[in-house]
Amino acid sequence: MKNNDKKRKKDLTWLFWYINEKYGNYQRKKEKPERRKKELSNKSIKIPNFAILDVTMVCNLNCPMCCVKDRLNVKTDKSLALEEIKIVINNLKDHHVERVMLLGGEPFTRHDLVDIIDYITRKQIKVIVVTNATLIDDRIIEKLKKYKDNLSFKVSLDGIKNTHDLIRGKGSYDKLIDTVKKLKNDFVVYFNTTLMKINLSEVDELIALTYSLDIEGIDLYFEMNYTQEEINKSEQMLKTKICQNISDKKFEYPYEDFLEIFKKIKGREKVEIHPSILKNTDNHRRFYHSDYGPVKLSCNVSDAICINQTGNVRMCYFSDLYAGNLLEQPLSKIWNSERFRNYRRDLIASNMTPACNKCCMLDCVN
């Protein structure tokens, strides 16, 4: 009987996340044309109920494809203390935020991460932790079990054993799988995978692994590579530095291999591919060649409040543009400040920057 109750509870937890993600995305699709009009007209837009918070920029790994690697392990960059994070969370709660995703760096490099999760969940806010799973031990899992109804994990997986270990270090794959097997008994768990030349042929095996471990799903992303020319033009348009993975090639594999990915994931319920613009098959060639023609582009960053490790609210997760700090101002003042409204208007009016063309948050109006 106890096992049945446990399974029923887990099924209900999964159902909540499924409805929230699927229905929430559907609602955002319906609202997108209207929101674009507001952004172009420089009007205020609704504050999202979802926030992304970098709790640290310290990471114990050094992955070559990391799109924020130039921000990591900078000695002069200090993260918010626990008491400061509480102020940020109170600010978010006052503005009806319902979900917070904790990023880094590697969140579990913080020894007080459990305390952070404890405070957020006590505010009736759900928590998603994005992690490489190498620092999660049995002691931590035991402590986290009390939050299982309000806590989920996105675990970074780069390929099958040899590939994952090549990227993240020997033994990291076995550690990840062992941790996922333990987490899935009490928590909603997803894989996060960045698709690259090195792991492209392993998509079928990664999906099979997702099913065999009986976790909730796998999210597939494309590597964010840009030419120096694209970086220069984007920084000129944004008037700031942006995170960059510079490459002479936008993709290191042919278009036919790119299309093969979509054949492999077709009909797989547990698989999501990003950015969401790729759900329209007409955009596959456009995305691959970074040529969208007349398509009106949009940015899903307006669906999330992006907060860096010092409490600054980013206008773009991958740039250094900030609109204010949550330790100093209420979110409502920041989100629809003149600076933020002008930024959204100018970005939409110019149909995004070249750096937006491969971004995981890229979308289109229809």
Q: Per-residue pLDDT tens for 25-43? A: 544 555 666 766 677 677 7
Q: What is the pLDDT of residue 244?
A: 64
Which residues are CB-contacts of 62 (< 8 A; sequence separation ≥ 6)? 69, 72
Determine the Cα angle at 102 with ends 344 and 270, to 5°: 90
- Asked if residue 156 has pLDDT above 90, the reply is yes
From residue 218, alpha-carbon distances to 10, 39, 92, 203 in Å are 18, 32, 28, 10
Distances (CA, A) of 124 to 50, 85, 205: 13, 16, 37
The pLDDT value recorded for residue 66 is: 75
Q: What is the mean pLDDT of residues 329-348?
A: 91
Q: What is the SS3 assignment for 157?
A: coil
Which distant-in-sequence residues (6+ apart) come within 8 Å of 279 by Cβ?
273
d(C-alpha 242, C-alpha 12), whole Å = 40
Q: In percent, how much of the chain has pLDDT > 70? A: 84
Domain of 58 in residue numbering reads as: 2-36+47-364
Which CATH number is 292's domain given? 3.20.20.70
Stretch 212-223: mean pLDDT: 96
In the predicted model, what is the mean pLDDT of residues 336-356?
Answer: 89
Q: In the prediction, which pLDDT does 19 show?
A: 47
Q: Are 52 and 85 in contact (CB under 8 A)?
A: no
Q: Is residue 41 part of a domain?
A: no
Percentage with pLDDT > 90 across the chain? 60
For residue 36, the model assigns a pLDDT of 66
63 pLDDT tier (thresholds 50, 70, 90): confident
pLDDT at 56: 92
The amino acid occupying position 336 is N
Read off the pLDDT of each residue in 162-182 and give the average, rounded to a whole number: 96
What is the total count of domains within the chain?
A: 1
Q: Is residue 141 part of a domain?
A: yes
* Separation CA 168–CA 268 (nearest Å): 27
CB-based contacts of 251, cutoff 8 Å, min separation 6: 222, 225, 258, 288
Q: What is the pLDDT of residue 321?
A: 86
- What string of DSSP letters covers 333-351? HHHT-HHHHHHHHHHHHTT
Higher pLDDT, 21 or 75: 75
Residues 230 and 354: beta-carbon distance below 8 Å: yes
Average pLDDT, the chain: 87
| Each residue's pLDDT tens digit, 292-305 | 998 999 888 788 99
Task: Quote the pLDDT of residue 23.
Answer: 44
Q: Is the pLDDT of residue 85 over 60?
A: yes
What does the CA dihedral 62, 64, 68, 72 come to, rounded to 10 degrees? 20
Q: What whole-number distance in Å separates Cα of residue 356 and Cα of residue 275? A: 11
Whole-angstrom distance, CA of residue 132 vs CA of residue 155: 6
Give residue-wise pLDDT tens across range 12-27.
555 555 445 544 554 4
Reference 185, options 143, 215, 230; nearest CA is 215
Q: Is residue 313 part of a domain?
A: yes
Angle between helices 255-265 and 203-212 in degrees, nearest 10: 20
Residue 4 has what pLDDT? 55
pLDDT for 141: 98
Assign 239 a pLDDT band (cuts: 50, 70, 90).
confident
Which position has the token pair 């405070």? 119
Would you state the pLDDT for residue 43?
76
Predicted confidence (pLDDT) at residue 194 exceeds the cutoff of 80: yes
- Indicate the pLDDT class of residue 243, thresholds 50, 70 and 90: confident
**Distances, alpha carbon 272 to alpha carbons 81, 168, 234, in Å:** 34, 23, 28
Is the pLDDT at 135 greater than 80? The verdict is: yes
Structure tokens at 110: 């913080």
Measure Cα distances from 41 to 38, 51, 234, 238, 348 in Å: 5, 25, 23, 19, 10
Q: What is the pLDDT of residue 238?
A: 84
The predicted structure's pLDDT at residue 254: 95
Residue 42 maps to a domain: no
Considering only residues 68 and 6, tell me which one the structure prediction assigns the higher pLDDT: 68
**What's the DSSP call for residue 87?**
H
Which residues, in sequence order, are bridge partners of residue 228? none
> CA-to-CA distance for 281 and 304, rounded, in angstroms?
25
